[in-house]
Chains A and B, each alone.
Chain A
Amino acid sequence: SKFDPSKDEL
């Protein structure tokens, strides 16, 4: 799946 920047936030 594509990289989702919001998911690297905790």
Chain B
Amino acid sequence: MNIFRLVGDLSHLLAILLLLWKIWKTRSCAGVSGKSQIMFGLVYITRYLDLFTNFISIYNTTMKAIFIAVAIATIYLIYFKFKATYDSNHDTFRMEFLIVPVGGLAFLVNHDFTALEILWTFSIYLESVAILPQLFMISKTGEAETITSHYLFALGSYRALYIVNWVYRYYFEGFFDLIAIVAGCVQTILYCDFFYLYVTKVMHGKKLSLPA
């Protein structure tokens, strides 16, 4: 465990807790893409199946359990408890356009042709694009609430820190995982445009809105 991974994980945790807290506190999930949240839920569940097969550390097990629990809670709030506030008219990205190709790719490009490994690979690929419905929704409505922007910034920071973590691990541990690195870089690139808007607008106290 290096500092970049730890801060990245904490940033990841902060992001998902922030989103859950925002929905709970405002009793509304307006502006939040339920489809992105379903895909993140799928990401955690398919990746963390190893909770049942091998133990790594208390930290690892606890974080995995929290991620799965928070993801399920968020999906529950969006699709059940606060369903009336869910902005489905603007959440129109088709999930199958991501899940089907990503599933196919996981079958073709993986480290090992076993069920657990293919599901792990699927989750890595899916995570890299899971945020697209959320970004698509923001581009459709032309704006994002400030807390949603903070959520995206914390999530993007986690990805960027993981890249630094991989550089560190390559130099100091001689370890690298090409699947995780390529998918992680793709994912981080998707946040770049958002990062720019966040720094130029939200950090200066303005709401994130796209130019007309």
Contacts and interface: CB of A to CB of B under 8 A. Distances in A.
Interface residues of B, number: 21
A10 B63 contact: yes
B177 A10 contact: no
Contacts, number: 27
A10 B56 contact: no
Contacts of A9: 5, 162, 165, 180
A6 B181 CA distance: 10
A10 to B, nearest CB: 5
A6 B5 CA distance: 12
A1 B54 contact: yes
Interface string B50-68: 1000101100100110010
Contacts of B54: 1, 7
B79 interface: no
B120 interface: yes
Interface in B25-54: 50, 54
Contacts of A10: 9, 12, 60, 63-64, 67
B10 to A, nearest CB: 11
Interface in B134-174: 162, 165, 169, 173
Among A1, A5, A6, A10, chain B packs the most CB atoms within 10 A around the CB of A10
Nearest to B60: A8
A1 B56 CA distance: 13
B113 interface: no
B76 interface: no
Interface of B: 1, 5, 9, 12, 50, 54, 56-57, 60, 63-64, 67, 120, 162, 165, 169, 173, 175, 177, 179-180
Given A5-B173, A5-B175, A7-B54, 16 more contacts: A1-B54, A5-B169, A5-B177, A6-B175, A7-B56, A8-B1, A8-B56, A8-B57, A8-B60, A9-B5, A9-B162, A10-B9, A10-B60, A10-B63, A10-B64, A10-B67
